[in-house]
């Protein structure tokens, strides 16, 4: 029933490639996925698991090996490219870098499904372009050539072009690749805001696990081997899907912090008692130094972290003996 109200859904979709005349290479499937208006969905997974293949298939650039895709109530395979272009706008990793194209002209290209290739813009087209420029905050770049923009600025302009296309679904393949941390945060925040304010569905692939956990309404988590777990970010953390998807020797997903720890085998375990940032960063330092900080009754070592900022104290207890340290470095050296 839910599928009938979805903007896009897949049934028994298998994605992959033709590998020779009578052979196929299936990358993932069968997949039963749904996208709804106003949702920001982040597609995560290790290198080579099939994220780009899935995005290309959903966008109609590549045929499914099996199963079907329904877009706005119609079978995708029955739609012509021009019809798909009014429903889906696609932003690929490789930015269009053309020295001769100015920013306004590039954003205007988003109107091609309506204006035709001659590019004659009507008042409606111009209004859509102006709205896209405003929504993405790209006013300041308008007079510039694309080549003169930074990667972050260029990515925003590509998003503006997609917004100008005014489709109910925007798909972006690794939009944060090549961006510095503030630009990644800014872009993810902008995408989240656009999904809410414009009621568009936004589907993007990314390797930004922590940002995706913060902004996504849904996560599609692919594993090598073709499985895909879909759900709320928190659900996928709690049910062990993240550990499964990124399972590699020595890498452990910590459900308590939502991050991956570099796990060192064979060292001691320690109870960390304390609250807030001081206890959090003490645990980080201990894990980096090869300790496990899981609370357990049998642990011989316990550290109590108390105080604030410049008055922090680490009281280490071992076999009824205790010592107090005034710096994290001193405490770690004592272990
Ligand atoms: N044109 C192709 N023909 C055959 N196999 C391909 C083709 N393109 C990609 N593949 C293979 O399909 C699998 C999925 O590739 P895909 O690019 O979708 O992964 P991805 O999850 O996007 O990876 P990354 O995170 O590294 O970008 C990989 O094993 C890849 O080698």
Question: What residues does CATH 3.40.50.300 cover in the chain?
Answer: 2-253
Nearest alpha carbon to residue 35 among 200, 201, 204: 201
Query: Residue 112, class by beta-carbon neighbours within 10 Å (0-12 exposed, 13-18 middle, 19+ buried)?
Result: middle
Cα-to-centroid distance, 130 and ligand 1 (Å):
37
The tokens for 250 are 């020595």
Distance 44 CA to ligand 1 centre (A): 14
Distance of CA 129 to the CA centre of its chain: 26
Q: Which residue of 18, 23, 46, 48 sits with most ligand 1 atoms within 8 Å of its CB, as the best mutation to test the pocket?
A: 48
C-alpha–C-alpha distance, residues 125 and 112, integer Å: 10
Asked if the peptide bond before residue 30 counts as cis, ω within 30 degrees of 0, the response is: yes
CA of 242 to the centre of ligand 1 (A): 20
Query: Quick one: which H or E segment has residue 251?
Result: strand 251-254
Scanning the structure block, which residue is given the tokens 């991956």?
260
> Hey, how many other C-beta atoms are within 10 angstroms of the C-beta on 310?
6
Place of tokens 């899935």: 54
DSSP code of residue 168: S
Residues in the chain where the model's pLDDT stays below 50: 1-4
Query: For residue 173, which atom of ligand 1 is closest to its CA?
Result: 22
ipTM exceeds 0.90: yes
pLDDT of residue 143: 86
Q: Are 179 and 6 in contact (CB under 8 A)?
A: no
pLDDT of residue 1: 41
- The residue nearest atom 11 of ligand 1, judged by CA position, is 48
Residues in the chain, total: 335
Ligand 1 atom showing the smallest separation from residue 205 Cα: 22
Measured in angstroms, how far is the CA atom of residue 54 from the centroid of ligand 1?
10
User: Distance from first CA to last CA of the chain, Å, rounded?
Assistant: 59
Distance of CA 26 to CAs 9, 171, 183, Å?
19, 22, 35
Domain 2-253 class? Answer: alpha beta
Residue 123 Cα, ligand 1 centroid: separation in angstroms?
A: 42
pLDDT value at position 325? 96
Looking from the CA of 112 toward its CB, the CA atoms found within 13 Å total 15
What is the residue with the minimal CA distance to atom 24 of ligand 1?
A: 47
> Which own/partner contact pairs does 131-138 have at CB distance under 8 Å and 24+ positions apart?
131/163, 131/164, 132/107, 132/160, 132/161, 132/162, 132/163, 132/164, 132/166, 133/107, 133/160, 135/160, 135/163, 135/194, 135/197, 135/198, 136/160, 136/163, 136/190, 136/194, 137/190, 138/103, 138/107
CA angle 325, 327, 329 (to 5 degrees): 105
- In this prediction, residue 166 carries a pLDDT of 92
């Amino acid at each position: 029933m839910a599928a009938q109200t979805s903007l896009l859904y897949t049934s028994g979709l298998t994605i992959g490639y033709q590998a020779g005349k009578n052979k196929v290479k299936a990358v993932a499937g069968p997949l039963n996925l749904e996208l709804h208006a106003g949702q920001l969905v982040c597609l995560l997974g290790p290198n080579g698991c099939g994220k780009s293949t899935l995005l290309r298939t959903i966008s109609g650039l590549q045929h499914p090996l099996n199963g079907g895709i329904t877009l706005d109530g119609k079978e995708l395979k029955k739609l012509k490219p021009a019809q798909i272009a009014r429903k889906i706008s696609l932003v690929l990793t490789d930015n269009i870098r053309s020295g001769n194209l100015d920013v306004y002209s590039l954003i205007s290209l988003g109107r091609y499904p309506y204006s035709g290739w001659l590019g004659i813009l009507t008042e409606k087209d111009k209004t859509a372009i102006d709205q896209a420029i405003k929504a993405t905050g790209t006013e300041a770049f308008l007079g510039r050539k694309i080549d003169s923009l930074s990667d972050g600025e260029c990515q925003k302009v590509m998003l503006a072009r997609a917004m100008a296309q005014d489709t109910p679904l925007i798909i972006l393949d690794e939009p944060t690749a090549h961006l510095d941390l503030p630009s990644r945060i800014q872009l993810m925040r902008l995408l989240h805001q656009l999904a809410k304010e414009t009621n568009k569905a936004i589907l993007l692939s990314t390797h930004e696990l922590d940002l995706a956990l913060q902004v996504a309404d849904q996560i599609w988590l692919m594993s090598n081997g073709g499985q895909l777990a879909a759900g709320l970010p928190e659900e996928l953390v709690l049910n062990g899907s993240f550990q499964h998807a990124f399972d590699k020797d020595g890498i452990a997903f910590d459900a308590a912090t939502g991050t991956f720890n570099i796990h060192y085998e064979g060292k001691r375990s320690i109870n960390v008692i304390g609250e807030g940032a001081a206890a959090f960063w003490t645990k980080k330092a201990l894990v980096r130094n090869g300790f496990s900080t899981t609370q357990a009754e049998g642990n011989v070592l316990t550290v109590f972290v108390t105080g604030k900022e410049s008055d922090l104290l680490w009281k280490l207890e071992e076999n009824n003996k205790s010592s107090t340290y005034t710096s994290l470095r001193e405490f770690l050296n004592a272990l």
